[in-house]
Amino acid sequence: MPFCANCGNKLDEGISACPNCGAAYGGKSSGGFSWGEFFKNLVLKPAAAFDALVQARIWWFGLVMVFAVGLFSGIGKFIALGKVGTRGFFYDIFFEFFFLLFLVGALKFAAGFFKGQGNDFPGLFIATSASFIAYVPYALLALIPVTAVKIIFLILFSLVQVYLLMGVLESQEKLAMGPALITAFSPILFYIIIEIIRGSFGF
């Protein structure tokens, strides 16, 4: 089900304007996209925010978020380890893009068990990559030397991304809250485990 890019209201298929606010709706049209509405809906109605982003086909935002997470994590490792951390710097950037591809595939696969109705794979990619905005603050905390503190923040921001991914799945796969929660939580739990292992063993 589509969402109004202006107010976030759910729309019926085939209509040309939002019955709630009167804003024009043109299917996949990119006209009228508002960053202010996007960030407001990202907090209150993530499904509407991601639907608007996909309608506008804004690819670069999510890719910038993924790159930012890898970049900040890599800089923290480089500062902490010096020249020894050079390899880790590039590895962190590569890892985030690899995890993005894994996450998109895992969400699509898991949604199939709940009869997900999404058929727009590029749209799922755009929305999922944008959800990495949840990890940008965590990546900025890479300079904190206490591992226990990092793990706490990792879990906190992972829960934020689960919330955002539920919006992704609602907008792109038409999943209800329960199936969306299960589908979103599984790969993020895997990510938490991998991050803890990487932090504990210095990978």
In terms of pLDDT, which residue wins out, 169 or 144? 169
Shared domain for 97 and 179, answered yes or no, is yes
131 pLDDT exceeds 60?
yes
Out of 57, 85, 103, pick the residue that ends a domain.
57
Considering the chain, what percentage of its residues have pLDDT values greater than 70? 75
125 pLDDT exceeds 80?
yes
pLDDT score of 30: 42
Shared domain for 116 and 180, answered yes or no, is yes
Tens-place pLDDT, residues 174-186: 898 899 999 999 8
Shared domain for 68 and 25, answered yes or no, is no
Shared domain for 95 and 124, answered yes or no, is yes
Shared domain for 90 and 130, answered yes or no, is yes
Query: Is residue 55 classed exposed, middle or buried when 0-12, 13-18 and 19+ CB atoms within 10 A define those classes?
Result: buried
Out of 37, 57, 77, pick the residue that ends a domain.
57
Shared domain for 151 and 189, answered yes or no, is yes
Shared domain for 115 and 22, answered yes or no, is no
Segments forming the whole domain that contains residue 6: 1-57
Tens-place pLDDT, residues 60-112: 999 999 999 988 888 877 776 666 556 777 788 888 999 999 999 999 988 88
pLDDT score of 202: 42
Shared domain for 115 and 137, answered yes or no, is yes
Shared domain for 139 and 75, answered yes or no, is yes
Out of 57, 85, 104, pick the residue that ends a domain.
57
Question: What average pLDDT does the chain have?
Answer: 81
In terms of pLDDT, which residue wins out, 77 or 166? 166
* 93 within 8 A of 74, measured Cβ to Cβ: yes
Give the max Cα distance, the chain: 59
pLDDT score of 100: 93
pLDDT score of 77: 74
Shared domain for 153 and 120, answered yes or no, is yes
Domain count within the chain = 2
Shared domain for 79 and 117, answered yes or no, is yes
C-alpha closest to that of 187 among 166, 156, 201: 166
- Return the exposure string of 57-72: e unless at least 16 CB atoms fall within 10 Å of the residue's CB, then b: ebeebbbbbbebbbbb
